[in-house]
Structure 1
Amino acid sequence: MASNTFTITAAPGTDIWRKPPTTDVFNAPTALPSPSSTNTTLRTTGPLTTFRSARLSFNFTPTAQYDQAGLLLSFRRRGTTTTTPPAKWIKTGVELYNTLPRLSTVACDNWADWSVADLHPATTKAGQEVGWTTVLVEKDKDGNGTGMWVYRLASNAETGEEEKVPLREICWVFGLEELDEWEVEVSAMAARPEKGVTEGLVAEFRGLEVAWAE
């Protein structure tokens, strides 16, 4: 069920990133739409085995390297407090890298892996709004097994219909040991890893939807 717009302000020095040998940062702010602005049936946390998909739209103006906003999936074993950083996570959205906003997906099992793709090639640069962008993370099963696919949702120029532009397949999620013991939490996130700036990064979000198996 789609929600109204809500915002996150990320202070300088915030990030979600894990890189050997010792970097393990999970201090970026997350948020959900307020209960008054969304249907009360929106459920954002549940057993990983019942997760089907999550989608979110967002817009922001990046100015500093690694400014980012998007969708976050946090994986924790059942019984772990939500105040503890998740053991594993996936984030996907838009991130400013080398002067251009780019579609960005990071999947963290033991350590984080990062992939980027063009957003609006050669048109949008630092200091400009990225425009409303929608991402989707969806459970997928084929003849080779079960995984997660990450998509950007875009309007087909000819038909006007929504189409899924594939960004990345993540295969470790449903291969976790004791899969029944894992839960997934869905939220919006924003981060400003650069510490040398003085202002926070403001990102707008809307249309959070999460689907679960019945």
Structure 2
Amino acid sequence: MTTPAIHAPFLAIPQVLPTTNLPTKISFPPLTINAPPKTDLWRKPPHIDVGNVPAIFLPEPIDLNKFRSANVTVSGEWNTLYDQGGIVLYILGDDLKKWVKTGIEFVFGKPFVGTVATASASDWSLVPLPESAGGKVTIHVERETKGDKRLQSLWVYVVGENGERHAIREVAWVFGPDVIDYEGATAGGRTMLVGVYGARPTVPEGEGKENEELTVKLEGFEVTLFDD
């Protein structure tokens, strides 16, 4: 099923009640995001807290506890330091907004698979991308489960050409307060925006390129929710 998306910069996210009428599987047609220079999603205290990236989200926030998984294939003409694009999960309802982004990031002169998880500050991990990949990768993120029980971790996977998933990152705090048996859990009420994004934090070098945008291509973007 295809559902319309909304476009919004992170600084303009509305604080609204979660939607309750989305299907359990939401699929999107191929998408393109154009990211101008000086757009980024990064928090490094005490002075840096940037969130002005262009993004495409599900039509409305969802209850955090309903998120199951998302995947997308991301590609682009990565050529400027920190060029990036992929999946972004933005957690609302806390005093300090939290988010996870994962996809391609251009550093050290080539594209890597980069993942950033942000609570009070951003951390960052990189996984090499084979040259044969041509700057393209399929990313899958999924909430950890054990039988019928939903656990607190979000896992990030790279999907190979044969469909096999390779785990590259565990973010252990994403769903913590929503697990019933989680010690110290608080009341619910948190929501999540699920989407894809692109960013060009650095201004490209070269005469006449200071306004050159990064074009991020996103294919097969699909989100699944728990059926309850």
TM-score (norm 2): 0.75
Shift in Å at residue 195 of structure 1?
A: 2.9
Name 1:88's counterpart in structure 2. Answer: 98
Deviation at 1:5, TM superposition (A): 1.2
CA contact (8 A) 2:30 2:221 kept: no
Look up the SS of the partner of 1:206 in the other structure. Answer: strand
Question: Is the Cα contact below 8 Å between 1:2 and 1:206 reproduced in 2?
Answer: no
Following TM superposition, the consecutive aligned residue runs of length 4 or more in structure 1 with deviations greater than 4 angstroms are none
Q: Deviations over 1:94-141 (max 9, x none)?
A: 0001101000000001111100001115x57xxxx513x211110003
Structure 1: distance between partners of 2:165 and 2:202? 32
Structure possessing the higher relative contact order (Cα contacts under 8 Å, 6 or more residues apart): 1
Matched, 1:14 2:27: no
Distance 1:190 1:178 in 2: 33
Alpha-carbon deviation of 1:179?
A: 5.5
Q: Could you list the per-position Cα deviations for residues 134-185 of structure 1 after superposition, in whole angstroms to 9, with x for gaps in the alignment?
A: 1111000359x531100111123xxxxx111111000011224536211111
* 1:1-214 matched pairs, under 5 angstroms: 1-32=26-57, 45-77=61-93, 87-121=97-131, 130-131=135-136, 133-142=137-146, 145-156=151-162, 162-176=163-177, 178=186, 180-196=188-204, 197-214=210-227
What TM-score do you get using the length of structure 1 for normalisation? Answer: 0.80
Q: Which runs of 5+ in 2 are unaligned?
A: 1-25, 178-184, 205-209
What is the one-letter code of the residue matched to 1:75?
I
Structure 1 residues 153 and 64, CA, compared in 2 at 3 Å: closer, same or farther? same
Give the total of aligned pairs: 187
Provide the rounded CA distance (Å) in 1 between the counterparts of 2:187 and 2:69.
17
TM-fit CA distance, 1:45: 2.9
Identity value in percent: 34
